[in-house]
Amino acid sequence: MSFKPHGKHLIAGAWVAGDTTFESSPATGPAHHFSVGTPELVERAVEAAEGAFEAYAATTSEARAAFLDAIAEEIDTRGAAITEIGTQETGLPTARLEGERGRTVGQMRLFAAHIRKGDYLDRRHDAALPDRAPAPRPELVMVQRPIGPVAVFGASNFPLAFSVAGGDTAAALAAGCPVVVKGHSAHPGTGEIVAEAIKAAVERCGMPAGVFSMIQGGDRKVGQALVQHPLIKAVGFTGSLAGGRALFDLCAQRPEPIPFFGELGSVNPMFILSQAAKARAEEIGKGWAGSLTMGAGQFCTNPGIAVIQDGADADRFVAATAEALNDVAAQTMLTDGIARAYCEGRERISSDASVRPVVVADSEGRNAAPALYETTAAEFLANQALHEEVFGPLGLVVRATSADEVETIARGLEGQLTVTLHIDAGDMDAARALRPILERKAGRVLVNGFPTGVEVADSMVHGGPYPASTNFGATSVGTLSIRRFLRPVCYQNVPAELLPEGALA
| Catalytic machinery residues | 263, 300
Say how far apart CA 264 and CA 301 lie, in whole Å. Answer: 10
Distance in angstroms (rounded) separating the CA atoms of residues 241 and 238:
9
3-state secondary structure of 83: helix
Long-range CB pairs of 133-139 (<8 Å, 24+ gap) are: 138/492, 138/493, 139/492, 139/493, 139/494
Cα separation, 482 vs 167, whole angstroms: 9
What span, in angstroms and rounded, lies between the C-alpha atoms of 230 and 49? 12
**CA–CA gap between residue 375 and residue 381 (Å, rounded):** 10
Contact 450, 293 (CB under 8 A): no
| 3-class SS letters over 382-413 | HCHHHHCCCCCCEEEEEEECCHHHHHHHHHCC
CA atoms within 13 A on the CB side of 450: 20
Which is it for strands 234-238 and 150-153: parallel, antiparallel or unpaired? parallel
The amino acid at 183: G
By the 10 Å C-beta count (0-12 exposed, 13-18 middle, 19+ buried), 110 is classed as: buried
The radius of gyration of the chain from alpha carbons, rounded to an integer in Å, stands at: 24
Question: Which CA distances in Å does 505 have to 58, 124, 139, 494?
Answer: 17, 9, 15, 15
376 vs 379: CA distance, rounded Å:
5
Say if residues 334 and 91 touch (Cβ distance below 8 Å). yes
297: nearest Cα among 262, 334, 260? 334
